[in-house]
Amino acid sequence: MVGDTIVDWYAGAARDLPWRRPGVDAWAVLVSEVMLQQTPVARVEPVWREWMDRWPTPGHLAAVAPADVIRAWGKLGYPRRALRLRETAVAVVERHGGVVPDDVAALEALPGIGTYTARAVACFGYGQPQPVVDTNVRRVVARLVHGWAEAGNARAADLTDIGALAPTDTARATRFSVAVMELGALVCVARTPRCGACPVRDRCAWRLAGSPVHDGPAKRVQKFAGTDRQVRGRLLDVLRAAHEPVDAATLEPAWDDAIQRSRCLDSLLTDGLVEQTADGLFRLPA
C-alpha cells in the first residue's frame, strides 16, 4: 500500500535535521515545531541550536524575560510565537511539573499549540502514531488521493484522509507521519513537483489524470510591503537593537506615516511585544 511505500522511501531520503536525532526530547521537538510554523527549515536550524543550548528545558525558558526571548527569536518572523512559546514553558512548569504533556488535548491547550503542532509533538516527540496534517501533507493528499493540482483550504476531513493511508503497524504509522511531510517538502513540492523522483508516482491520482492544472479559485496572496506587519517588524527592529528604553522620536525613522506607526506601536503594546516604562519610554518587555 502507498503508506508503506512512502515509509520505505523516507528511510533512504530523510534529511538529517537536528531535531530528528536520537535523544532529542519532546520539549526540543516542540520548540522546533513552533519555530517551523510558516518559517523555512534553513532559517530555523541555527536559531534552534542556539536556543536549545541556552534554554534546554521548559524551566529554563520560563525563567527568562520576554525581552531576551524576543531578541533570541531574531528574524524568524511572527514574534508573537516567541512570546507564546515562553508562555507554554510557564504552563508546562506550572500545570505539568515541567514535563511536556504527551496527550493531544493537553498539548492543544498550550498557548501557540494548535491542531498541527499538538499532533506533531505527540508523534515526533513521543512516538505516537498520530495523523499529522500540515501544508505539505495537504498537498500530497490533494494530488495523490484526490487528483487535484493544489490543496484547498484546510478541512476537518484532512485528518481522516491521511489516517486512511497510514500503515496499520504502530511503529510504521508513526514513521509515516514524518515521511509524508518529507515527501511534500522534498518531492511533491508546490511549484514544480519532482514526479520523476516520487516513490508513488504510479499510484498518484493527479498524474493518472494527466497532471491537470489547478482550476479552482487562486489562493489569496498576502501583501507585505506597506502593511502593518512590515511596520511592526521595523519598530521591533529598533527595539531589539536598543538596550535602553527609547522615546517616541527614536521610533520615527522606522516608518514615515505617523498614523500607521502609532497604530502599530499600540498593537505591539497590546500584544505584549513592547512595554512602556513609567516615564513613557518604550522597550521590549522586561
Partner DNA sequence: CACCCGTGGCT
Partner DNA sequence: TAGCCAAGGGT
Instruction: Kindly list the catalytic residues.
Output: 33
Q: Does 224 bind DNA (CB under 7 A)?
A: yes
Closer residue to DNA in complex, CB, 47/62: 47
- Could you report how far apart the first and last alpha carbons of the chain are, in Å? 54
Instruction: Kindly tell me which of 222 and 280 has the beta carbon lying closer to DNA.
Output: 222
CB of 34 to DNA, least distance (A): 8
Residue 75 engages DNA in binding (rule: CB under 7 A) = yes
The residue among 185 and 284 lying less far from DNA, judged by its C-beta, is 185
Report the residue count for the chain: 286
Binding region for DNA (CB under 7 A) out of 60-68, 97-105, 199-207, 234-242: 234-242
Residue 265, interface with DNA (CB under 7 A)?
no
Looking at residues 105 to 124 of the shown chain, list those that interact with DNA (rule: CB under 7 A).
111-118, 120
In the bound complex, what is the minimum distance in angstroms from residue 15's beta carbon to DNA?
7
Interaction site with DNA (CB under 7 A): 17, 19-20, 32-33, 36-41, 43, 75-80, 84, 111-118, 120, 134-136, 139, 153, 181-182, 184-185, 189-191, 218-222, 224, 227-230, 232-234, 236-237, 267, 273
